[in-house]
Structure 1
Amino acid sequence: MQTSRSFPLNAWYAAAWDHEVGRSLLARTVCGAPVVLYRRTDGRVTALADACWHRLVPLSMGRLVGDGIQCGYHGIRYDSDGRATHMPAQETLNPSACVRSYPVVERHRYVWLWPGDPAGADPALVPDMHWNDDPEWAGDGKTIHTECDYRLVLDNLMDLTHETFLHGSSIGNAELNEVPFEVTHTDTTVTVTRWMHGIQAPPFWAAQLAERFPDHTGPVDRWQIIRFEAPSTICIDVGVAKAGTGAPEGDRSQGVNGYVLNTITPETDGTSHYFWAFARNYKLLDQRITTRLREGVSGVFFEDETMLNAQQRAIEANPGYDFYNLNIDAGGMWVRRLLERMVDAEAGV
């Protein structure tokens, strides 16, 4: 018997961008659990259950007192470990008065939270998104609050043939549906690799190539290497290079390379926090390019968001409907298999 929960808990999930967490209280729901995040006076991040031990009032409605929180309803104070340190009108503290404290790690510009068994919260398991703060790369991103199951976002990212139809004016081209692709997997990763040789660059990539090679007008070799890391991070190696200059063999010097960085955090069974960024390895100090790319990718992802939210409404209107799968769904099917195994293992199935 399978559990009804669709997401594993023993994993790191992005709870916020690092710049979102400061000396104020930030409320966020991660894997169905309301949490409150803030920075202590030493700069480290604390994440506590967002519910007072006394009457379950959200602690995020209170205020910081030093490195702890004071509940905004009756004034009970908690330290950064979640233990009550003060109660109104009494000196004796109830020994059970505490709220859950969650393991957190700051890495790759995100604050990561572990909602499962804290004994397993090994920082080495944080997904690799180093391009987000690597000095050899430059970029920026945003957060989308999707009104859909997080697995629909993963499906969307593992099969990029939809670009031809949904993003035809920017990154789509017909060759996405005409060339073969390769799918490989391990116990925790799935990789989909696609190369398109000697094609015309779609508008988005033609504009990027022109930044480095203004006189180039000929065909390009285009690549998409999609790598999923369980449970919900997908980093996509993308780019174009002048056709025949060696990009498929590893020489990308005659092209432009980017990484689409995506990590999706389930909020509830039907909503999610989608953190994304686009990083590049050329003209690193040109803020004009960084801003233009961020806004351009944001427009593309808005098209995805609209489609995914509509898909979620359709799923809700057709309970019990089983998806049909095509060859292009191979990567996404493997992702779902890995997720099911993780969830079932936690449930002891």
Structure 2
Amino acid sequence: MENAIADANMPWPVNAWYVACTPDEIDGKPLGRRICDQPMVFFRGQDGAIGALEDFCPHRGAPLSLGFVRDGTLVCGYHGLAAQCSGRVANMPGQRVGGFPPIRSFPVVERYGFVWVWPGDPALADAASLPHLEWAESPDWAFGGGRFHIACDYRLMIDNLMDLTHETYVHASSIGQKEIDEAPVRTRATADEVVTSRIMDGVRPPPFWQMALRGAGLPDDQVVDRWQICRFSMPAHVMIEVGVALAGQGGYDAPDAVKASSIVVDFMTPETATSHHYFWGMARRFAVTDTALTDSIRAGQHKIFSEDLEMLERQQRNLLDYPGRRLLLLNIDAGGARSRMMIDKAIAAETSVNAHPVRINASSATAP
């Protein structure tokens, strides 16, 4: 099998960890998923290890994801060729396959309730470079979330999340309010992240936050101080600190007893140039044992993000229909623009004229 070469024309870096799936998606069965325009299949092998292979059977080219898992190997559903997590061909009924080249494998890590994959050079994959997600490890937090498949460039979702002005219009019945438009936006960038923030003091909580206040055991009919702090980090992660506190109690810095605060979790994983997998959720630090509240918040987020989905997919179609149009940039777009600059810098570093193309060994080992 020929070594694969990273495509310099794709709008994403490949030497990075992306969320591929959640563990429940591979319970007892393989999962096919295209990530960074590369067909992959994920499955749980021997001793609970997770394999990530190219979704291509070396026998006749059938998708391995149409097969099944047996005794820790992935069995092709066409003629029964079986492969291990490493990509090594284990056996095939009535055939000698010991000389088959290994199927290309991708470094993969299971952590924080997600399965992460590295689509680029396996020699550069280091599990220590995964982002640290405190809320996924601490009993002081509760989390609930889901996944959407969205037919738009993943960078459009990053733009959406780094500028929450759209909430006033797209989410008018849930989290939107006019004060979002009126509050100034502050943007700053470091080597590791881009941060946009908006503070709204002395406002009425919109319906979603009224529900959250009730869940936190606080009155939902009082004036609150509200905040939104959006943090982009590579390759396509946005963590948004959001919350409301009873007015005059310190806002973002108020004691937990008088506020409902959360982190909106957003992982965008490119599928193709015009589609992506969107893993979303909310981690909260109040009423963490209330599973009914977790379900209510998840349902509320699902509704909110469904509204984004229609807008983003229609936006993508418009951009394809009018490829020559130049879009206008305003101060509210600074967070998205700087995030794109960070992405472009990473892509340029991978495809620099001073560097060799990224060559990926077909028998790459699984990351620890």
Normalised by the size of structure 2, how large is the TM-score?
Answer: 0.89
2:176 equivalent in structure 1? 172
Question: Which letter maps to 1:102?
Answer: F
- 1:195-235 C-alpha deviation (Å, 9 max, x unpaired): 11111111211222233345463311101111111111111
Q: Where does residue 36 of structure 1 map in the other structure?
A: 41
* Alpha carbons 1:260, 1:277 under 8 Å: kept: yes
- In structure 1, the residue matched to 2:288 is 284
Report SS of the residue matched to 1:140.
strand
Q: CA deviation at 1:276?
A: 0.6
Which residue of 171, 182, 186 corresponds with 2:190? 186
1:185 positional shift: 1.3
Give the AA of the match of 1:113. V
- State which of 69, 75, 82 in structure 2 corresponds to 1:70: 75
> By how many angstroms is 1:128 displaced?
3.1
User: How big is the shift at 1:120?
Assistant: 1.2
Corresponding residue number in structure 2 for 1:256: 260
Secondary structure (helix, strand or coil) at the match of 2:345 reads helix
* Cα contact 2:13–2:346 (8 A) shared by 1: yes
Do the aligned partners of 1:23 and 1:40 also contact (CA within 8 Å) in 2? Answer: no
One-letter code of the match for 1:253?
A
Q: Which runs of 5+ in 1 are unaligned?
A: none
SS in 2 for 1:253: helix
Is the CA contact (8 Å cut-off) linking 2:106 and 2:122 kept in structure 1?
Answer: yes
Q: Would you identify which runs of 4 or more consecutive aligned residues in structure 1 move more than 6 Å?
A: none
1:53 to 52, 58, 72: 58
Correspondent of 1:79 among 65, 80, 84 = 84
In structure 2, C-alpha distance between the alignment counterparts of 1:219 and 1:69, rounded to whole Å: 57
User: 1:330 matched to which residue of 2?
Assistant: 334
Whichever residue aligns with residue 288 of structure 2, its letter is L
% same residue: 42
Ranges in structure 2 where 5+ consecutive residues have no aligned partner: 1-6, 354-368
Task: Quote how far apart the aligned CAs of 1:146 are.
Answer: 0.2
Is 1:152 aligned to 2:163, yes or no?
Answer: no
Q: Deviations over 1:243-301 (max 9, x none)?
A: 11112445443111111101010011111100011121111111111111100111000
Most deviating of 84-93 and 2-11: 84-93
Q: CA contact under 8 A between 1:105 and 1:113: conserved in structure 2?
A: yes
Secondary structure in 1 matching 2:47:
coil
Given that 2:45 and 2:84 are in contact with CA atoms closer than 8 Å, whether structure 1 keeps it comes out as no
Cα distance change of structure 1 residues 284 and 113 upon mapping to structure 2, 3 Å threshold:
same
Residue identity matched to 2:225: D
Aligned residue type for 1:205: W
- 1:98 is aligned, of 76, 95, 102, to 102
1:26 pairs with 12, 31, 42, which one? Answer: 31
Per the TM alignment, residue 329 of structure 1 is displaced from its structure 2 partner at its CA by 0.3
Instruction: Return closer, same or farther for 1:38/1:92 CA change in 2, 3 Å cut-off.
Output: closer
Q: CA–CA distance in 2 between the matches of 1:30 and 1:92?
A: 28
Which residue identity is paired with 1:10? N
2:209 is matched with 205
Gap change, CA 1:215 and 1:73, over 3 Å in 2: closer
Cα deviation for residue 88 of structure 1 reads: 5.7
Q: Does 1:219 align with 2:226?
A: no
Give the count of matched residue pairs.
347
CA distance in 2, matches of 1:308, 1:157: 11
Residue from 15, 19, 23 that aligns with 1:10: 15
| CA deviation vs aligned residue, 1:37-70 (integer Å, no higher than 9, x gap) | 1112311211111101232211112232322223
Aligned counterparts of 2:97 and 2:332: Cα–Cα separation in 1: 63
1:250–1:122 distance in 2 versus 1, CA, 3 Å = farther
Q: TM-score, normalised by structure 1?
A: 0.94
* Match in the other structure for 1:232: 236
Q: Which amino acid aligns with 1:66?
A: D
Higher relative contact order (CA 8 A, sep 6+): 2
